Amino acid sequence: MNFDVAVVGGGVNGLFTALDLALRGFSVILLERGAIGSGTSGRMHGLLHSGARYAVTDPKAAIECIEENRTIAKIAPHAIEDTGGYFVAVTKEDVDFMEQFLKGLKQANIEYREVDPKEALKEEPNLNPNIRAVVEVPDKVVFARDLMFSVAISAYREGVLVIQDAEVTGFNINNNEVNEILVKDRLTGNVRSIKAKIVAIAAGPWTYKVVKLAGIEVEMMPTMGVMVVYQRRLTRRVINRMRKPSDGDILVPYGSTSIMGTTAVVIEDPDNISISDDDIKFLTSEGSQMVPLLTKTSVIRAYASVRPLIKIPGVDTREATRDFMVIKHEKPSNMVTVIGGKFTTGRLVGERLSDEVAKMLGSTKSSITRDYKLFGANLYEDLGELDGSLRSLALSFRGSIDEDRGRVAVLTLLMDEVARDSRRRLGWL
């Protein structure tokens, strides 16, 4: 089968790219070496940024985040908990940062409210009773796989073949163009060939490895961040430290748990990462300055994610932009790559990457994902198009004690069916 576009990478950037391109009328195949969301996107912090964290140090990223915060809440309300967020000043240095912080919020058009610390303690009794200042911002919590599965299912409904366990192992290049993508089927071990007019690489921190197969070097700074999961939900809102972005300054209420993060360490290989006891102790200690009860709450586990940051000489991990960059390569001329970005801006990344691809294919159609209601936004209405036992099982959750938890199960079952049918249609089953 020949496609207009092959998208490499099944995280939030690749998924939104595939959906965006399909909605513009292109034939698309998405290739993911593992399962959808099994890389960086499935290991994010859980925060749908308001942009406030970057308002002082990275204003462009801040503006992108607040705009996408509003957009994702509109097109995927089922994947969002609108918790709100507090930025809290613990030390005098935090208070001194506040003037800059408020100025940055205004410039980025991020709505905020100064909150009396006594009021904040009534709302969030587990906060440090000695907090000096509080600012409320529109942070939200995003359930990563709910969102990604919804995008993948939506893309499939628009004609995209979503192929899991498909690892790109090489490119055949003739006349300065990729005319064949070599793909290892990790379920069978077979190496297969995919043909596409354009190859769009959205492989997160693995991007530099993928493009190297085509003889391309990109300047990336794979940066590992550790998150710690605690047994209880300690706050209603996201709690942020009121200071420049640093290690251990965000506590996210995720379902019935709390997630503390994060660290930032440059690594050589995103497939070779480890978490130390010191990481857990450090994050617990830092977080306890905002929420002291953290030190008395059991740790369930820790996990790590690798950010695909843009490498800029002389700039360290915390100063590095959280913006993204779309690169149209000269050799091979039909390959385009995205590096950088955040989970919050995944839809925007997909739009911008698709803009470049559409231009390369001679199309003037614009993106419509900003207003495209994702599958699952009205889950039980969306299930009406299904038939057979899967529909019966999915609908059995409706009106039950587990209706909300059932959403995850339903989307997972549908994602499995999407992956199976995509393989069937491709002739891999």
Q: Does 7 have pLDDT greater than 70?
A: yes
Question: What pLDDT score was predicted for residue 323?
Answer: 83
Which is it for strands 265-266 and 220-230: parallel, antiparallel or unpaired?
A: antiparallel
Per-residue pLDDT tens for 328-345?
999 999 999 999 999 999
Per-residue pLDDT tens for 49-66?
999 999 999 999 999 999
In a domain, 306, yes or no: yes
Is 33 in contact with 9 (CB distance < 8 Å)? Answer: no
Query: Sign of the C-alpha dihedral, residues 289, 293, 297, 301?
Result: negative
Per-residue pLDDT tens for 374-393?
998 887 777 766 656 677 77
Average pLDDT over residues 304-328: 82
Per-residue pLDDT tens for 194-239?
999 999 999 999 999 999 999 999 989 899 999 999 999 999 999 9
Cα 156 off chain centre by: 19
Is 111 in contact with 138 (CB distance < 8 Å)? Answer: yes
Confidence band, pLDDT 50/70/90 cuts, at residue 355: very high
183 shares a domain with 105: no
Q: What percent of the chain has pLDDT over 90?
A: 85
Q: Which two tokens stand for residue 241?
A: 């430290």
In a domain, 332, yes or no: yes
Per-residue pLDDT tens for 10-23?
999 999 999 999 99
In a domain, 56, yes or no: no
392 shares a domain with 287: no
Q: Which two tokens stand for residue 275?
A: 């978490």
Of the two residues 315 and 385, the one the predictor is more confident about is 315
6 shares a domain with 105: no
Question: What pLDDT score was predicted for residue 386?
Answer: 61
Confidence band, pLDDT 50/70/90 cuts, at residue 324: very high
Q: Does 318 have pLDDT greater than 70?
A: no
CATH number at residue 189: 3.50.50.60
Is 147 in contact with 403 (CB distance < 8 Å)? Answer: no
261 shares a domain with 214: no
Helix orientation angle between 12-23 and 144-157, rounded to the nearest 10 degrees: 30
Cα 90 off chain centre by: 29
Per-residue pLDDT tens for 120-158?
999 999 999 999 999 999 999 999 999 999 999 999 999
Question: What pLDDT score was predicted for residue 407?
Answer: 84
Question: What pLDDT score was predicted for residue 225?
Answer: 96
Per-residue pLDDT tens for 402-424?
887 788 888 998 999 999 999 99
Q: CA–CA separation, 293 vs 288, rounded Å?
A: 7
CATH number at residue 251: 3.30.9.10
In a domain, 9, yes or no: yes
Q: CA–CA separation, 315 vs 295, rounded Å?
A: 33
Which of 310, 334, 366 is the C-terminal boundary of a domain? 310
> For residue 9, which amino acid is it?
G
- Domain that residue 164 falls in: 2-41+145-219+322-426
170 shares a domain with 208: yes
In a domain, 34, yes or no: yes
Nearest to 245 by CA among 317, 312, 148: 317
In a domain, 46, yes or no: no
Instruction: Give the CA distances from residue 377 to residues 12, 79, 121, 273, 373, in Å, rounded to whole numbers and listed in that order.
Output: 17, 8, 34, 35, 7
Question: What pLDDT score was predicted for residue 382?
Answer: 77
231 shares a domain with 91: yes
| pTM (2 d.p.) | 0.96
Is 358 in contact with 21 (CB distance < 8 Å)? Answer: yes
DSSP state of 268: S
Mean pLDDT, rounded, of the chain:
94
228 shares a domain with 305: yes
In a domain, 275, yes or no: yes
246 shares a domain with 232: yes
Per-residue pLDDT tens for 164-200?
999 999 999 999 999 999 999 999 999 999 999 999 9
189 shares a domain with 161: yes
Confidence band, pLDDT 50/70/90 cuts, at residue 398: confident
Q: What percent of the chain has pLDDT over 70?
A: 97
Which of 277, 310, 343 is the C-terminal boundary of a domain? 310
In a domain, 69, yes or no: no
Cα 349 off chain centre by: 10
Confidence band, pLDDT 50/70/90 cuts, at residue 287: very high
Q: CA–CA separation, 165 vs 10, rounded Å?
A: 10
Nearest to 291 by CA among 87, 121, 123, 128: 128
